[in-house]
Structure 1
Amino acid sequence: MNALVTALQRLGLPLGEMHLLTVTGRKSGVPRTTPVAPITLDGNRYLIGGFPGSHWAANARAAGQGILSRGRRKEHVRFVELSTQQARPVLRAYPAAMPAGVAMMSRVGVVSEGTPDEYEALAGRCAVFRLELLH
């Protein structure tokens, strides 16, 4: 599914809130691209590593920066990983901000009901990054 979404995004066909995130691989040194869906909360943008141990989150943590693109628009961003405590309100807001993401995460068993409480409980297990523009 990631390959299909990536191909469609590269063709300039936006899919909902999906963006492409390109980060240098922490082991290979090769740029890796994956679809992501940033959320905005209180004027800040965040990425949530929806699966504990996701490779893109580990690469983002190691690289510290990457490229977020949507269609032809590209932004160079820095990843600021939130502490468990800082991540709680962002995770709690996720179900309302990204209902399609909740459905997907429910299908694969990360959450069962997709409630704010259930998402908040993921703090410390799923990475949460604040995105900062690099100029």
Structure 2
Amino acid sequence: MARKYRLGVTRKAVNAVVKALLARGIPVAGATGWLLTTRGRKSGADRTTPVNVVEVAGDRWLVSPYGTVGWVHNLRAGATARLWRGRTRETWEVEEADAATAGPVLRAYVRKIPVTAPFFDAKLTDPPEAFAAEADRHPVFRLARSRA
């Protein structure tokens, strides 16, 4: 059974360090680490969190390995993702993937960022269909056309 994500003191501290490094343009987690800023669906305030972007089949994808977290709700409500790292800024519209589309993306994500593997029931060696079965617990968004 997959582990459940808990945002504890340690994770908050790690996120703060990662955010500071990414804000200065220092790559974290290879070249996949970005800061994602979304507009709060209730407050309207900007919310920023570190994320990883994975490229699969020529498209760029945002994956929520820890489930339906705050930024997922915000993207569903606003459909605009602002990604930044250092001086690089990108604004994207997002489209949530269906389970069949999400399966190969989730598999690629876990292979690229294996620290997230304990949060999935599917194993690294499983076929994409095993990951597709978990798509409802791990939302996947395709970064569509750039608006900036």
Same fold (TM over 0.5): yes
Residue type of the alignment partner of 1:134 = R
Structure 1: stretches of 5+ with no match in the other structure: none
The partner residue of 1:41 within 36, 45, 56 is: 56
Residue type of the alignment partner of 1:21 = L
Distance 2:73 2:120 in 1: 21
Residue type of the alignment partner of 2:59 = N
Change (3 A) 1:12 1:119: same
Q: Mean Cα displacement is larger for which, 125-134 or 110-119? A: 110-119
Match of 1:13 in 2: 26
Change (3 A) 1:43 1:65: same
The DSSP-based 3-state class of the residue aligned with 2:89 is strand
Matched ranges for 1:1-135 at <5 A: 1-15=14-28, 16=30, 17-96=32-111, 98=112, 101-103=113-115, 105-106=116-117, 109-111=118-120, 114-117=123-126, 119-132=131-144, 133-135=146-148
Aligned length: 129
Distance 1:121 1:102 in 2: 19
Residue type of the alignment partner of 2:25 = G
TM-score by length of 2: 0.78
The DSSP-based 3-state class of the residue aligned with 2:119 is coil
- Does the aligned pair in 2 maintain the 1:94–1:116 contact within 8 Å? no
Q: Which stretches of structure 1, 4 residues or more, deviate above 4 A after TM superposition?
A: none
Q: What RMSD over aligned residues (CA atoms) do the two structures have, in Å?
A: 1.8
Identity %: 38
Structure 2: stretches of 5+ with no match in the other structure: 1-13
Alpha-carbon shift at residue 119 of structure 1 (Å): 3.6
Change (3 A) 1:23 1:58: same
Alpha-carbon shift at residue 116 of structure 1 (Å): 4.8
TM-score by length of 1: 0.85
